[in-house]
Amino acid sequence: MLQNFEFCVPTRFVFGKGAEHKIGEKLRIMGIKKVLIHHDNGRFLFDSGLLDGIHEDLKRHGISYCELGGVLPNPRLSLVYQGIELARDEKVDFILAIGGGSVIDSAKAIGIGSPYSGDVWDFFSRGIHPEESLPVGVLLTLPATGSESSRVTVINNTDEKKKLLTSADAVRPAIVFMNPELTFSLPPFMTACGVVDMFSHTCERYFSPDPEIGVIDRMAEGILKTLVKVGPDLMNDPHNYSHRAEVMWIGTIAHNDTVGVGRTQDWATHEIGNELSALYDTPHGATLSIIMGSWMRYVYKKDIGRFARYAEEVFDVTPGSDPEKTALLGIERTEEFFRSMKMPTCFSDFKIPTDGIDAMLERIAFRGEHHTIGGFAPLTPEDVRAIYEMASR
């Protein structure tokens, strides 16, 4: 950890079996009077009785509520506007997101937009940082993005075909309820997307230009190694509580900066992949598995030693006399890991057209004097084009 840092995660975690039954009790202690329940209208909420149970629990503790469903993957700005209007009209003092990253990000955007006098899109498009929010809570049913305790929210403006983020301490949820049993019925593809997202969040921090290997790197390697073991096992044994619990907690620590403090982070894979979501509405986890291998092959020579260590520590590749061969083998194992969970590793695997590269490049926010993205290996538009072309073969 070579750099100075400040780190605070104020989110309270209520983890384990039956965590959802503590929502009313905890919110009453927090002094909450009225809740906006936000979700995706998924059948699981209704068929399982989960939503009815939350309604009854809130009533039992003297808390009233209103409701807004309809969140889609790559959450829409249009629904955020509806949520802000509803929150203001109903004078809610808390937002409860039930779901995964898309619902949570939508709830966060409603939270920061409700007390703001301007357009909530300002936070995403104009570089304005939100300073206050309605408190947001989460009942996590889809571990993936780590949004339940991160300071980031990502929203898709379909009118402008832009998917942008804002980041601030005010964005972090106040409390999250995490019961791994609620994830037993997740479809395999959604489980796999979640694991890939966690893997990528960790890699975005692990592949850093900071040369020293220390405790944060070893923590990241432990997360990645666990995902490589547990991810494919979950595809065959979706009711394994231990594996579901591991994945649920990893999703949180992979993205609340536990393994990112004191270092330069990369984030190019996310920025490149996000444009696949913005243009083609591709699920976030799939964009990452499509782009990551090509990004790795394009940049690994920036620090062959770190890539070789990644291969050895994460995939148990036996060190050889040629670190470059070890590094390349680690990249191959990465894509094999994704394929073992039936995730795409190129455009054709997901039937994504190859004629949108120019449109995606135009929307990426290249920055600085040299017009680049990425902290590990700064990438120009020409570099990103090459990565897209590699991934489209």
Domains, the chain, ordered by start: 12-182 (3.40.50.1970), 188-391 (1.20.1090.10)
Q: Strand 175-178's sheet: what is its strand order?
A: 12-15, 175-178, 136-140, 94-99, 34-38, 64-68
C-alpha–C-alpha distance, residues 247 and 230, integer Å: 8
C-alpha–C-alpha distance, residues 4 and 211, integer Å: 16
What Å distances lie between residue 211 and 281, 286, 337, CA to CA?
Answer: 37, 30, 26
Confidence tier at 2 by pLDDT (50, 70, 90):
confident
Confidence tier at 1 by pLDDT (50, 70, 90):
low
Q: Provide the pLDDT for residue 211.
A: 84
C-alpha–C-alpha distance, residues 114 and 137, integer Å: 15
3-state secondary structure 300-330: HHHHHHHHHHHHHHHHCCCCCCCHHHHHHHH
User: Of 278, 296, 383, which Cα lies nearest the Cα of 338?
Assistant: 296
Instruction: Decide: helix, strand or coil at residue 121.
Output: coil
C-alpha–C-alpha distance, residues 65 and 60, integer Å: 12
Mean pLDDT of 176-181: 98
C-alpha–C-alpha distance, residues 296 and 269, integer Å: 9
In this structure, the chain runs to a length of: 393
The mean of the pLDDT values for the chain is: 96
Share of the chain residues as helix, strand and coil, in percent rounded to the nearest 5:
50, 10, 35
* Residues 75-101 pLDDT 10s: 999 999 999 999 999 999 999 999 999
> Who contacts 101 (Cβ-Cβ below 8 Å, separation ≥6)?
142, 144, 145, 146, 147, 197, 284
Q: Provide the pLDDT for residue 258.
A: 94
Tokens of 9: 């995660």
Tracing tokens 């799939």 back to the chain, one arrives at 286
* Residues 257-312 pLDDT 10s: 999 999 999 999 999 999 999 899 999 999 999 999 999 999 999 999 999 999 99
pTM strictly above 0.75: yes
* Residues 41-68 pLDDT 10s: 999 999 999 999 999 999 999 999 999 9
C-alpha–C-alpha distance, residues 28 and 309, integer Å: 49
Q: What does DSSP say about strands 162-167 and 136-140: parallel, antiparallel, or unpaired?
A: unpaired
What Å distances lie between residue 310 and 201, 221, 305, 333, 344, CA to CA?
Answer: 15, 7, 9, 11, 21
Tokens of 256: 């609340």
Q: Provide the pLDDT for residue 161.
A: 87
> Who contacts 228 (Cβ-Cβ below 8 Å, separation ≥6)?
314, 315, 337
User: Of 102, 303, 100, 131, which Cα lies nearest the Cα of 208?
Assistant: 303
Q: Provide the pLDDT for residue 361.
A: 96
User: Of 383, 98, 135, 190, which Cα lies nearest the Cα of 268?
Assistant: 383
* Number of H-type helices and E-type strands within the chain: 15, 8
C-alpha–C-alpha distance, residues 378 and 42, integer Å: 40
* Residues 371-393 pLDDT 10s: 999 999 999 999 999 999 999 98
Q: Are 263 and 1 in contact (CB under 8 A)?
A: yes
